[in-house]
Amino acid sequence: YSGKSGPQLLSNLARKKVVKDYKVLPVIIKEASSVYDAVCALFLEDVGTLYVVNNKGYLAGVVSRKDLLRAMLGKQKIEDVPVNIIMTRMPNIVTCSPEDSIFDVAKKLIDYQIDSIPVVKEALDDDKSVFEVVGRVTKTTITKAYVELASGQSERS
Ligand code: ADP
């Protein structure tokens, strides 16, 4: 144990820990993929949320476990329903950048009551802002960063 006090641990989390050191690989599907494909990806990749990209590869939406469950309650065959009609879509996606602090991301997860946030890099395409997905931050990521700090394992920064 590092011997740091609670407030010290928290202020370290706030200032020093950045998303790029903790982000994990995003699991991405195309917007034409079916709900069936999305459910398979969720199990195969062992994640709770999938990020959906458009045909140019930029972030278009997010599908969560509950989005998929809701879609499965519908009358339509899930092989025939594309994820882009059930996803939460841009510009309503909460994102973060690789340089953001872990504390800021933790706050967003709480404020927006979501389980994961895509890590993105902004670019311009035909003068429009687009977002390339470069990672994923989840509640697990935050917990890991906190445990590292509290047990004094990490001097990454
Ligand atoms: P679940 O729905 O499985 O409980 P979440 O709590 O993460 O998972 O998702 C709740 C809702 O918020 C879903 O409709 C999902 O599409 C949406 N959502 C998830 N992540 C984000 C995000 N980063 N930005 C905006 N909306 C999101």
The model carries a pTM of 0.91
Q: Which atom of ligand 1 lies at the shortest distance from residue 115's CA?
A: 7
Can you list the domains of the chain with their CATH numbers? 6-150 (3.10.580.10)
pLDDT of residue 154: 56
DSSP 109-157: HHHTT-SEEEEEEEEEETTEEEEEEEEEEEHHHHHHHHHHHHTT-----
| Locus of tokens 């709900």 | 35
Quick: pLDDT tens for 105-152: 999 999 999 999 999 999 999 999 999 999 999 999 999 998 888 887
Quick: pLDDT tens for 56-105: 999 999 999 999 999 999 999 999 999 999 999 999 999 999 999 999 99
The answer, yes or no, to whether ipTM is higher than 0.90 is yes
* Gap from CA of 76 to ligand 1 centroid (Å): 22
* Gap from CA of 114 to ligand 1 centroid (Å): 5
